[in-house]
Amino acid sequence: MVWLWTHLVTWIVIAVMISLALFTKTHTKVYEMITRVGYIVIIATGIKLGIKAWSVEPTLLIVKIIVALIFIALIEISFARKEQNTLSKPLVWAVIIFCVVVALLGFALAGWYPFIQH
């Protein structure tokens, strides 16, 4: 249970840091670095959770891993574009959409916990 909550809380922190990095003009590098440290926690806890989820939903797990990696790539692209002052609205929308999709896939893999407790 600790792994799941660590994963969830880190995702929330990352979502806030991404928002701050993309939509503010100060401390952008700090928010980017916190996001990158969060990746390490997410990947470590995700591996631990993925081992359990593999026996239940291997296909959904593979889809989530691919979508999460695309999401991380989009985040990094958006950080680079923001630094170059070429950040576009479609890229920001892509980051938001992939964030929501990864979250939904994660909740589906967790049996919609903590929203639905079995």
User: Would 118 be classed as within a structural domain?
Assistant: no
End-to-end CA distance of the chain: 14
Domain ranges, residue 39: 2-109
Task: Tell me what pLDDT residue 114 has.
Answer: 75
User: Would 41 be classed as within a structural domain?
Assistant: yes
Structure tokens at 83: 């630094």
Blockwise average pLDDT, block size 10, the chain, 118 residues: 92 96 94 96 94 92 96 97 95 96 93 75
Q: How far apart are CA 52 and CA 55, in angstroms?
A: 6
User: Would 25 be classed as within a structural domain?
Assistant: yes
User: Would 115 be classed as within a structural domain?
Assistant: no
User: Would 101 be classed as within a structural domain?
Assistant: yes
Number of domains present in the structure of the chain: 1
User: Would 117 be classed as within a structural domain?
Assistant: no
Closest by Cα among 74, 101, 86, 84 to 18: 74
Which one-letter amino acid corresponds to residue 73? A
